[in-house]
Amino acid sequence: MAYSYTWNSLIDLAKQSVKGRPLDAVSVQYCDMVSNDMYIEYPWKETVTSTDTATGLTPLLDGYQDVSPEAVNIWRLLTCQIWNTTTTPFDIRDVDVRDSISTSLTPYSYTAIRICSFQAGIGQIRLESAVRVPEGQNLELHYTFQVNPTKVTSLNQNLWFDDKYVGVALEGLLYHCFKLNDDPRAGGCATDAYGRSTGYNGQLGIFKAALNRMKSAEDFGAVEQLFPDTVMGAGRDVYNQLNVFNW
């Protein structure tokens, strides 16, 4: 893998496609917007950090529902497990990630806790309920999360994604350039009565299609994933509207 391009490289290419119209005044902002568009689309491997293999980092305390993570740069929680490191081998139980959980201070056994969420407002991971930690047992929380995106403040910054995806970012920059110049090639998004996207056209459609190809390349060999709150048996149109990790 290579990470050799800077945002300035893409701006130079974009200028050629929009016939030399000036972009200098807004180029950094456009690069930051495209970077964020790409970042939030999927938990790319470059943006994900895991505590799955490190023990002793995030202990669970008896009677507590909220857990203070050792990480300080969590943007969204992806997977979570409760480990009982007292047993041999360790007893590891998967916990589903949800968007939000209400307070429940009635303690339950760790084997009964099925869901958790990252409460961004307080910077803590909240379990389904307070956890009961039996005397003499060690319980730990292990999790995978996506870090906060790095803001683009200079065109000299290197791209955070691999060189093979440079074309995806260029398609995004072209969309913003066309939009700035009131160029009809920019395209747009059609929505239903609830504001949900039903399709894209023009350069915006090309950008979205490139993002989907990028996700497919990252997901090679994996099965389709549903957002944790999606009920099983959801219709194909509902699944397409929710999309993968569209939190």
Q: What's the CA gap between 233 and 24, in Å, rounded?
A: 49
- 40-52 mean pLDDT: 89
End-to-end CA distance of the chain: 28
- 54-66 mean pLDDT: 88
pTM assigned to the model: 0.79
In a 3-state reduction of DSSP, which class is residue 31? helix
Report the mean per-residue pLDDT for the chain.
Answer: 86
CB 27 within 8 A of CB 155: yes
- 122-151 mean pLDDT: 94
Confidence of residue 123 (pLDDT cuts 50, 70, 90): very high
